[in-house]
Amino acid sequence: MKIMSTYSVKIKEYNHIFKDTIILYRRAVDFYIDVMLKEWDEFSVCSNQNKAVNLAESYSVTSKKRPVVIYDLAVNFYKFPSYLRRAAIAEAYGKVCSYKSNLDNWENTDRNLRGEQPSFPKAGYIYPAMYRGNTFRRIDDLHAELKVFYHNTWDWITVSLRKTDVDYIKKYCFSRKECVPTLQKRGKQWFLDFAFEEKVKLDETDIFDQTVLAVDLGINNACTCSVMRSDGTILGRRFLRLSREYDSLKRKTDRIKAAQRHGSRRLSRLWRLADGVNDDIAVKTAHFIVDMAQEYNVNTIVFEHLELDGRKRGSKKMRLQMWKARYVQSMVADKAHRLSMRISRVNVWGTSRLAFDGSGRVLRGNESAKTKGKYSLCEFSTGKIYNCDLNASYNIGARYFIREIIKSLPVTKGQQLLAKVPEAVYRSTCTLSTLISLNAELCAAA
């Protein structure tokens, strides 16, 4: 498996000198978009990007064998670097292909169901890749040369790189393959985004020998984790609450609500403070999950497949809107893959609502007299009081094992097993007790 990562190195000293280069690059992309739209019959038969680049150059670049072309790039783009030109062609080809695909889908959709016609593609806010030798040269660790457009010509300038960024790359990225950097602007600062590529081999342990970390992400508690074996044995469990961070987030969101009640609309400073705390919660949660996975040497980390789209309602709608569950899962996936661990997701329905012991639906919060006002607790039909998030993490791990065990068996044997454990047929009703029953039937058959 290939893993791509990016680290941004800040460019010191220069600020406005790159503006003309970016403008010319975006104009070149728009130029090739127009060429491809006019000659789409020819470009549509290109089997790959390299053929599209060669075809675009045959239409726009003169040579000894081709002294006259239909669309001459050199008329409006003086001494445009060849690698930058090819990057512009590749960018334009991707945008035009996407536009044509969306247009075909729109035309083939029922008139009553389709929306507005896709708009023509434009370069937009894109930035160029600085290819080695042609537009980027490394002088030493702290200095590099970039080919940019200034003083009405293309020339090399020397830029200084921040030492802390270079030291970080040396320390953590020395074993990875360094790809070409991309010139980027964030705020008023310019950066070189270095992409790094590495290959890892993901874990291939048999499902019956696996250990998984089942994670239930919450909006009150950061996460609840359970380490589980395929027979339903729980090896460990932990909670991450981050009370201080959540209190800080609540204070900041309350200030936003108070300002909005008084008619304020532009609250960029307050939102920036709240987003900073929210990001801190997400980062700490991801670190906690990966550290626990390493400690127990798990093979797979299992999450819920969360559907977070749509309008949020209720008293906690702002909390739900700011919940960075996908960001946490993305960070954990990147870290886990580097450690050869796999990531999996299971059906979210009923993980907290169904008791892990198979006793049915639980009562939460004000639904029970014993847990009134305490939404983090639930009451089983047997009268037992239990933590909702811990109950959900058990069910998450069990659903992963049930799905993978049935997939690993021959069809006939799998159907016989499901006939003996009918509650395993529907994944949305599976609990830890279902996994234990399934394992008992497997042991009896063996």
pLDDT (tens digit per residue) in 386-425? 999 999 999 999 999 999 999 999 999 889 888 999 888 8
Instruction: Mark whether 321 and 374 lie in a shared domain.
Output: yes
Look-up: residue for tokens 């991309």? 182
Buried b / exposed e along 95-105 (16+ C-beta atoms within 10 A): bbbebbeeeee
Instruction: Mark whether 270 and 400 lie in a shared domain.
Output: yes
Instruction: Mark whether 92 and 40 lie in a shared domain.
Output: yes
Residue 118 CA: distances (Å) to CA of 85, 93, 122? 26, 16, 12
Instruction: Mark whether 147 and 20 lie in a shared domain.
Output: no
- pLDDT tens track for 126-184: 999 998 888 999 999 899 999 999 888 899 999 999 999 999 998 988 888 988 899 99
- pLDDT tens track for 179-207: 889 999 998 899 999 999 999 999 999 99
* Cα–Cα distance for residue pair 80/430, rounded to 1 Å: 62
Instruction: Mark whether 94 and 157 lie in a shared domain.
Output: no
* Cα–Cα distance for residue pair 425/298, rounded to 1 Å: 27
Instruction: Mark whether 63 and 153 lie in a shared domain.
Output: no
pTM of the model: 0.82
Residue 416 covered by a domain: yes
Instruction: Mark whether 265 and 285 lie in a shared domain.
Output: yes
Domain region containing 330: 207-445
* Cα–Cα distance for residue pair 228/404, rounded to 1 Å: 14
Residue 154 covered by a domain: yes
Instruction: Mark whether 223 and 371 lie in a shared domain.
Output: yes
Q: What's the confidence (pLDDT) of residue 221?
A: 82
Tally of domains within the chain: 3
Residue 121 gets which letter from DSSP? P
Would you list the DSSP string of 165-183? HHHHHHHHSTTSEE---EE
Work out the burial of residue 70: count CB atoms within 10 Å of its CB; fewer than 13 is exposed, 13-18 middle, 19 or more buried. exposed
Instruction: Mark whether 101 and 229 lie in a shared domain.
Output: no
Q: What's the confidence (pLDDT) of residue 316?
A: 66
Residue 406 CA: distances (Å) to CA of 16, 55, 410, 417, 430? 60, 51, 8, 8, 13
How many helices (H) and strands (E) are present in the chain, helices listed first?
12, 15
